[in-house]
Amino acid sequence: MSSSVSFPLLSYADALRFWYDRTNYEQRMARPGDLKLDRMRQLLDRLGDPHRRLRILHVTGTKGKGSTSALLASILRHAGYRTGLFTSPHLVHVEERFQVDGQPILPTELTSLLSEIRSVVGDLPDVTFFEICTAVGFLHFVRRRAEVVVLEVGLGGRFDSTNVCRPEVAIITSISLDHTRQLGNTLASIAFEKAGIVKPLRPTVSGVLETEPREVIERICGERTSPLTEVGRDFDFTTVPGRVVGERIDPMLVTVRTRRRLWSDLEVGLLGRFQAGNAAVAVATIEQLQQAGWPIREEAVRAGLAKVHWPARLEVVRYRPTVVLDCAHNVASAEVLVNALAESFPPGRRWLVFASSNDKDTAGMARVLAPHFAGVVVTRYLGSSRAVPPEQLAEFFPQAIACADPRAAWKRVRELARPDDLICVAGSVFLAGEMKAILSTEGERPGRASSVLAGVRDSDGVS
């Protein structure tokens, strides 16, 4: 941080109030024309254009962008780089969004940066919550002297406020239907928005498999003279899924074959076959950096993949009964979730705790999830007006039990579940965060990967 302060320093509470009083598209849907970059560029200009002093990996995608960002940041840290990681939303505490070498920004640092931003906003009209969030991230990474930043897109790509950067590599993890009101209702239209992060003469890595969005990405990369590395052509992968055995997790093994070499039997510290694709995209991205002269050794790649920590993505937080937190919040991610539960967890009776946002395909998620659970407890999270009332959710699940809030839902499902059962919490990043906070206050022994940041979440996520 700067050694002197030339602006009024707010209290932590006032700083958060200034921030959260802004238009928040994590709380309400953006309308066509709401998202644009001119205001973001003006704000950064007033702050000295901190993004121009950073080396950035820019990551977007419908699914997997957060996991891929975490995998890349972990590899780069193990390679010895001072690494910034910008992600959204947060699970429990807002400081999680801005990390350097795995450590969230301190509340005092966040307060100072928000005070600085408030002092320059001035006559800029309608600066949004996420624009301020992005500015905080850029400033923090410069002040903390990050050598590389992994920057996750908030929504879409083309008009996302992170898209003011000129990255070392642009990464597109996947394309599926989500946020159709903002991004379009076809895979091609969504791919067009996501591929907005592609920059002229800078490489792009794509994990997109479907023909329609692949063609869009290939066309845009061609138009912008961006060298494209894509799965199924330039790299591929195979996997041996991870498994939960008793109170032990046997890690997933992934083998990635690229045009340059074979990366065999890479351990990945995340559960779910779908994470193999994210790991392969991360490896392909690291190869792009290696070709550009970055000294990243194989040992760093292996250690980074094996030791990654990315909470609430098939995260086992308890045993007896086994409790799994997941952020699945659309039909595609619900399908991935049920497949991963079948593949990586022992058979047995399963219970679902579910909440959803009013802009999601709740009926579609229910059709996917309901057949795989003995019972469903539906609830609503407390920190967003977008939560669907549990009485409405119950209409989508046969014999659902409705509970007013996550704490009541947890109490009810614990009464129903036996020690050999599995409880899965899914439907929303917001629900996962509130449940994680509830579990952290209880005295039961946590399972592996149950690090919890204390605090209160205030906003749900978009992807």
- Tell me what pLDDT residue 249 has: 95
Q: Is the pLDDT of residue 184 over 70?
A: no
Q: Report whether pLDDT(455) > 50.
A: no
In a domain, 453, yes or no: no
Q: Do residues 78 and 168 both lie within one domain? A: yes
CA dist., res. 399 & res. 376, Å (int): 8
Range of the domain at 301: 12-306
Q: Are residues 285 and 141 in the same domain?
A: yes
pLDDT classification of 7: cutoffs 50, 70, 90: confident
In percent, how much of the chain has pLDDT > 70?
90
HSE (side-chain half, CA atoms, 13 Å) at 155: 26
Identify residue 335 by its one-letter amino acid code: E
Residue 387 lies in a domain: yes
Do both 42 and 181 map to the same domain? Answer: yes
Q: What is the pLDDT of residues 110-148, one digit of tens each?
A: 999 999 999 999 889 889 999 999 999 999 999 999 999
- Is 430 in the same domain as 283? no
Regarding whether 392 and 329 lie in a shared domain, the answer is yes
Q: What is the mean pLDDT of the chain?
A: 90
Instruction: Using DSSP, state whether 132 is helix, strand or coil.
Output: helix
Distance, CA of 192 to CA of 212 (rounded, Å): 11
Rounded alpha-carbon distances, angstroms, from residue 392 to 208, 311, 330, 377, 412: 35, 28, 17, 12, 19
Cα 180 to Cα 308: distance, rounded to the nearest angstrom:
31
- Which of 282, 306, 330 terminates a domain? The answer is 306
Q: Can you give the pLDDT at residue 32?
A: 46
Instruction: Give the β-pairing of 315-318 and 228-230.
Output: unpaired
Same domain, 263 and 321: no
> Measured between alpha carbons, how far is residue 448 from residues 30, 174, 205, 344, 352 in Å?
38, 28, 32, 15, 21
Number of domains in the chain: 2
Of 280, 306, 332, the last residue of a domain is: 306
Any idea how long the chain is? Answer: 463
Question: Would residue 61 count as lying in a domain?
Answer: yes
pLDDT band at 181 (very low <50, low <70, confident <90, very high): low
Calculate mean pLDDT across residues 3-25: 85
**Would you say residue 457 lies in a domain?**
no
Residue 336: give its domain's CATH number: 3.90.190.20
Return the closest-CA partner of residue 227 out of 218, 214, 215.
Answer: 218
Task: Please say if the pLDDT value at position 463 is more than 80.
Answer: no
User: Considering the domain boundaries, does residue 127 fall inside one?
Assistant: yes
Q: Quickly tell me which residue has 């990681």 as its tokens.
A: 85
Residue 206 domain-assigned?
Answer: yes
Examine the domain organization and report whether 160 and 42 are in the same domain: yes
Cα–Cα distance for residue pair 91/98, rounded to 1 Å? 12
Residues 346 and 436 in one domain: yes
Judge if 98 and 118 occupy the same domain.
yes
Note whether 342 and 302 are same-domain residues.
no
Residue 279: its pLDDT value, please? 98
Answer yes or no: is 273 within a domain. Answer: yes
Q: What is the pLDDT of residues 255-312, one digit of tens each?
A: 999 999 999 999 999 999 999 999 999 999 999 999 999 999 999 999 999 999 999 9
Same domain, residue pair 246 and 341 = no
Question: What mean pLDDT do residues 376-386 have?
Answer: 91
User: Considering 306, 339, 367, which residue would you say is the last residue of a domain?
Assistant: 306
Cα 447 from chain centroid? 22
pTM recorded for the entire structure: 0.90
pLDDT band at 176 (very low <50, low <70, confident <90, very high): confident
pLDDT at 51 over 90: yes
Q: What number is the average pLDDT over the span 32-51?
A: 87
pLDDT at 440: 86
In a domain, residue 172? The reply is: yes
Give the span between the Cα atoms of 177 and 119, in whole angstroms. 40
Together in a domain, 19 and 129:
yes
